[in-house]
Structure 1
Amino acid sequence: MTSQKATLIGLVAIVLWSTMVGLIRGVSEGLGPVGGAAMIYSLSGLLLIFTVGLPDIRRFPGRYLIAGSVLFVSYEICLALSLGYAATRHQAIEVGMVNYLWPSLTILFAILFNGQKTNWLIVPGLLIALTGVCWVLGGENGLNPGEIISNVATSPLSYLLAFLGAFIWATYCTVTNKYARGFNGITVFVLLTALALWLHYFLTPQPAMIFSLPVIAKLFTAALTLGFAYAAWNVGILHGNVTIMAVGSYFTPVMSSALAALLLSSPLSFSFWQGAVMVCVGSILCWLATRRR
């Protein structure tokens, strides 16, 4: 497979991912945060068995298998539960925006750990992206510390999980690119995520799953989307241009927010869109920091 084709496949994953905030939240409202996520990843894992296949993990580099498994499972649990535990649908979209710090962090980690060349633009890029997230959390008042604290205090676990998830996913991308050596463990990683979520579901008190036609439709849509998205993303990371894929992902905050607002019937304020654009601009500056000489 050529690098150009692999990169294009990776970009398709970004489009698919843009629907996930709305879909995961929709499923969690009927099946619960943990139960809904467990169902999504179980179905996605089954899909990947038939589309990607089960690899022979004995051939995997040890660092990739161990670090990749831990990081992937940790990230997926952080993302799914951050959306499910959000107090409202609007807050779930805000939590999704916090998670979109990862493109900037991916570039930063590539610089710190993979020897990526950079320049001074990385500093304003990171600051603008972080400011954009804070702007979103400030609600109608934009960058207002009091409003940010008050907003986060209503559902601190959701925001903490999303923030940690951004760092974890950036680390996963860095580790995969450095240690995978062309191996693709996505099927194993998704199945491990499902297993971890089911263990959490059965070992802790959880709300009953309430199935309805809308929830079932969102469940199967989310599972199909997630399965194909991660299969495509891993192809891009393993064989494509990670920097170009990161550029494409910089526009995900806007696409994801628009689709989530549509799926969840939750209109967003002008201040929210200002913050979303700032996250995109900051991420693009981070990319430019690696391109200019």
Structure 2
Amino acid sequence: MTANRSRATLIGIGAILLWALLALFTAATGDVPPLQLTAMSFLVAFVIALGIWIARGENPLRRLRHPAGAWILGVAGLFGYHAMYFVALRNAPVVDASLIAYLWPLLIVLFSALLPGERLRWFHVLGALSGFAGAVLIVAAKGVSFASLSSGYFAAMACALIWSGYSVLNRRYKNVPTDAVGGFCGVTAILAFVLHLMLEQTVWPDGILEWLSVLALGLGPVGGAFFLWDHGTKHGDIRVLGAAAYLAPLLSTIVLVLAGKAMLTWIIAIACLLITGGALLAAKEMLRPRLKT
């Protein structure tokens, strides 16, 4: 693996590390409804991108000129995933919906075989399966029911398909600069706010801590992370990123444990071994490049 590809892969993993902070920052925003919180967070990401363009003396409108396919894919990925996720949570048990949605890293690894120049090896698949097994332990420890089939389960599956499809197809637009994500975040913020007005009652953050948590979401897991993921999926090893994505639920749980909001159990310890081992297995080519003969 080339140095540039390894670097891009590590940048993509940076997004996974930021997603690990999602639960902690979301809990700190208080009673702000999810769609409103999504709109506010993506708005933060767009405003920051807009500020950078202006500071560079660039015309923001020119920074929004990208192929229609890139716009459709970007907005469908960012907004579509979050919209379907909220539908899933409203119509299926949270644990069940989360477990189905966590199929997206495994699907990324499998779909990567369709990309030109990519070769899916046994250790990529085994690493992703190991990571999924670890995610199952973490999520299902709260109790899985799957009592009755509902629209929520289909929405959760749509989440997995949308995000995995977006991540893999994003390689087709590798010539589109990563700051295009700023525009995608702006449109996603608008669409999320429209849905919020239709489905939720507005509740503004209460106090400086909650406002700072919203800002942190926009800078990190619901905003800034998507810029890192865009670069990683366009220029890095998509198979490694897919397997490593299962670090997000593990690290999220560890962060909550360190923050005193969850307890460390043997299930988390086993999940740690499965997910970390799977990620290392999938990345073995990157960690130990083949010697030139």
Q: TM-score range by the shorter chain?
A: 0.7 to 0.9
Deviations 1:42-72 (A, max 9, x none): 1222112223674637752332222232122
> Aligned partners of 1:277, 1:220: CA distance in 2, in Å?
33
| Mapped contact 1:7–1:245 kept (Cα < 8 A) | yes
Where does residue 231 of structure 2 map in the other structure? 235
Where does residue 9 of structure 1 map in the other structure? 11
Q: Are 2:62 and 1:66 aligned?
A: no
Where does residue 32 of structure 2 map in the other structure? 31
Q: Choose from 95, 107, 116 the match for 2:118.
A: 116
> Aligned partners of 1:263, 1:55: CA distance in 2, in Å?
42
Unaligned runs of 5+ in 2: 55-59
State the one-letter code of the partner of 2:251: M
Structure-2 change in CA distance of 1:52 and 1:260 (3 Å): farther
> Aligned partners of 1:119, 1:260: CA distance in 2, in Å?
34
State the one-letter code of the partner of 2:263: P
Q: CA deviation at 1:110?
A: 0.6
Which protein has the bigger helix share?
Answer: 1
> Aligned partners of 1:214, 1:85: CA distance in 2, in Å?
31
Deviations 1:114-141 (A, max 9, x none): 452124445544544443343334327x
State the one-letter code of the partner of 1:203: M
| Mapped contact 1:136–1:275 kept (Cα < 8 A) | yes
**Alignment partner of 1:30: what SS?**
coil
**Alignment partner of 1:197: what SS?**
helix
Identity of aligned residues (%): 22
Q: Choose from 215, 218, 225 the match for 1:220.
A: 215
Deviations 1:78-123 (A, max 9, x none): 4577689998xxx68x976765443332111111344521244455
Q: Choose from 164, 168, 171 the match for 1:177.
A: 171
| Mapped contact 2:99–2:140 kept (Cα < 8 A) | no
> Aligned partners of 1:164, 1:273: CA distance in 2, in Å?
30
Q: Are 2:259 and 1:253 aligned?
A: no
Where does residue 41 of structure 1 map in the other structure? 42
Aligned-residue Cα RMSD (Å) equals 4.0
> Aligned partners of 1:109, 1:275: CA distance in 2, in Å?
24
State the one-letter code of the partner of 1:22: L
Where does residue 57 of structure 2 map in the other structure? none
Q: CA deviation at 1:245?
A: 4.3
Q: Choose from 266, 271, 283 the match for 2:267.
A: 271
State the one-letter code of the partner of 2:134: G
Q: Larger deviation: 281-290 or 174-183? A: 281-290
Where does residue 187 of structure 1 map in the other structure? 182
> Aligned partners of 1:129, 1:9: CA distance in 2, in Å?
20
> Aligned partners of 1:256, 1:213: CA distance in 2, in Å?
23
Structure-2 change in CA distance of 1:72 and 1:35 (3 Å): closer
Q: Choose from 179, 195, 198 the match for 1:200.
A: 195
Where does residue 148 of structure 1 map in the other structure? 144
Q: CA deviation at 1:205?
A: 4.0
| Mapped contact 2:167–2:233 kept (Cα < 8 A) | yes
Unaligned runs of 5+ in 1: 141-146
Deviations 1:235-254 (A, max 9, x none): 33334444454465453332
Q: Choose from 3, 18, 21 the match for 2:20.
A: 18
> Aligned partners of 1:202, 1:265: CA distance in 2, in Å?
31
